[in-house]
Amino acid sequence: LGNTRPQDEPEPSQLTSQITGAIDWRREGIRHKKNEVYIDVLESVNLLLSTTGNILRNEVTGQVQMNTKLTGMPECKFGLNDKLVIEKESHGKRKPGVEIDDCTFHRCVRLGKFDADRTITFIPPDGEFELMRYRVTDNINLPFRIIPAVQEEHGQTRVSINLKVIANFSDKLFATHVVIKVPVPKNTARAKIKNSFGRAKYEPEQQAIVWRVKRFPGKAECMLAADVDLMPTVRPKAWSRPPINVEFQVPMFTASGVHVRFLRVYDKSGYHTNRWVRYITKAGGYQIRI
């Protein structure tokens, strides 16, 4: 083997660029007809609620993806509504920012600058790359509130399920690909389901009632009620009650409250840059115990 290296040891080319300041992720002489930057802020929201509605786990992991089509060797300065920066700039007068933890960056970012004053400056690679990752654990805006009531009745021959789902985001937005999986016992025979919109049906292979809503408007409330008949079993075993699982995507919404404040592009020729920003929040592990 001889040439294996510990994983956290940088590549020789990376060491060289750190020592000499060489920019090996971008070549000289790049030209674009239009100078454009696309920024995608992608967040996964993780939630675990107890049977009594207490939050057991709640955090957001985010990434900032960029696609740059810029001429020359531009220097970029990127700003989020980072609490530490906003407090320093406005002496607490402006509305507070978001506490952003555990930032990791693409190697084009000048870490010394970030450590000194939390500014994110870089000469970007050409095309698509991941600029940074982050984590937020405070003041999270949960996109969906789910209130379940699940009761086992009639000597373990029936289960009744009532579910209320509230979209906590603005009524100007909507969630897509919403899938709510409500577990039912293994010995379920059939389920009679009523729901206010979307499609819900018992799916034996998932051991769950699966409720799918293509487009869920912000501030909407909807209900699902199900009567589940169980088959008699020789040795009745207590049902383990796995959690309700929720999947969704909410475009133009961040659960952490993070948003892009600015992207400045400095190039010696002083060209104009068009910028586009998109936000998407999706479910990571979003679970409610029943």
Q: Name the token pair of 215.
A: 């487009």
- Tens-place pLDDT, residues 157-197: 899 999 999 999 999 999 999 999 999 999 999 999 999 99
Q: How far apart are CA 106 and CA 36, in angstroms?
A: 19
Q: Report which secondary-structure segment, H or E, holds 129.
A: strand 127-136
Q: pLDDT, tens digit, for every residue of 254-278?
A: 999 999 999 999 999 999 999 999 9
Q: How far, in Å, CA of 288 to CA of 243, rounded?
A: 5
Pairing of strands 260-266, 75-80: antiparallel
CA distances from 3 to 6, 11, 14, 192 (A): 10, 12, 17, 64
pLDDT given at position 84: 86
pTM: 0.86
More confident residue, 182 or 87: 182
Residue 220 DSSP SS3: coil
pLDDT value for 13: 56
